Amino acid sequence: MGLVGKKAPKFSATAVVNGGEFQDDFSLEQFIGKKKVVLFFYPRDFTFVCPTELLAFQEKLEEFEKRGVAVVGCSVDSHFSHWAWLNTPKDQGGIQSVVYPIVADFDKTIAMNYGVLAGEYTWDEDGNWGFEGEPVAYRGLFLIDEEGKVRHELINDLPLGRNVNEALRVIDALAHNQKYGEVCPANWNEGDDAMTETSDGVADYLSNH
């Protein structure tokens, strides 16, 4: 069941911030009333697709910040693993230069609460715990507004990397709706015409396109 329209699940966990500093009790609560948040999950540190995504978010970080949006990454690795990856040069498979927070979901509860854990715990008839599936997070992305509500979510399977520009486009669409009260049609980009939520507004838009 999706989270869109609901309050984002709360969590408090250790994160690595500013490219190498440990922060205990990191929480999204610090952004309530101040910023939107893009919270994205990825499967593992020291893998193949994951560094391309984390570095892509870093390359566009200024664009997110201009829009008043905090970027936060999260995986089921420990904060020690995050720190090691952040201190590994890019030409050696690392993500050195990434400065936004990366949360350690070592007990997998954050991924579970956001519905992106790629498997589930099981309990057999002998009373033994097991796990079916992959004990990592799918590539989930959640846009959380200033009130802590999830306004957009996207969940990709493990092999499928995301489009960072699409995340920016959705942020622009939400900001346009918040400012003008208009809704954004298919393939809308900043500067395009939007629509009012009335039959006349829709008719006017369609007659001009």
Assess contact for 175 and 143: CB atoms under 8 A: no
pLDDT at 21: 97
pTM of the model: 0.92
pLDDT at 77: 98
113-172 confidence digits (pLDDT tens): 999 999 999 999 899 999 999 999 999 999 999 999 999 999 999 999 999 999 999 999
pLDDT at 200: 53
pLDDT at 198: 62
Pairing of strands 21-26, 129-137: unpaired
pLDDT at 208: 55
**Residue closest to 158 by CA, chosen among 142, 137, 143, 141:** 137
Would you place residue 182 in the very low, low, confident or very high pLDDT band (cuts 50, 70, 90)? very high
| Range with lowest mean pLDDT among 61-70, 149-158, 181-190 | 181-190
pLDDT of 90 > 50? The answer is yes
Whole-angstrom distance between the N-terminal and C-terminal Cα of the chain?
A: 35
Catalytic site positions: 50
**Residue closest to 108 by CA, chosen among 139, 67, 77:** 77
**13-162 belongs to which CATH class?**
alpha beta
Mean pLDDT taken over the chain: 93
Q: What percent of the chain clears pLDDT 90, i.e. is strictly above it?
A: 90
Domain ranges of the chain: 13-162, 163-209
pLDDT at 204: 53
